[in-house]
Amino acid sequence: MQLKEIGSRNYWRYYNLFDEDKVVGCVYIEHTNKLFLSNFLIDSKYRDKGYGSSMMNLILELAGDKPVVLEVEKDNEEAIQFYKKFGFFQIDETETRYRYSNKQLS
């Protein structure tokens, strides 16, 4: 499994998750003093096969000591439980979304 950068713009980098030569997922990550995840996605044919967990582990490895932050729709209980499994906790909310982090932000 490999998380490969395929492009960038300003602070944003675009990654694909590869299983051998197949693209099974993607994510956009803003790199600043934290990593902000956007569009964390596993292709529907590859869901429930551990690819999401693999991608999250690779992202956490990439982050090192930096916090990882993301937003999730309030009604997406499956995603919320997935992120909590990796130690993410709610740090903020809007009308429609929760913001989660794996570390306290300073």
CATH number at residue 72: 3.40.630.30
CA nearest 55: which of 96, 86, 98, 87?
Answer: 86
Structural domains of the chain, count? 1
Residue 72 lies in a domain: yes
Residue 77: what pLDDT? 96
Q: Rounded to whole angstroms, how far apart are CA atoms 27 and 8?
A: 12
Please state the pTM of the whole predicted model: 0.93
User: What are the tens digits of pLDDT across the range 17-58?
Assistant: 999 999 999 999 999 999 999 999 999 999 999 999 999 999
Residue 106 lies in a domain: no
Provide the residue range defining the domain that includes 13. 2-101
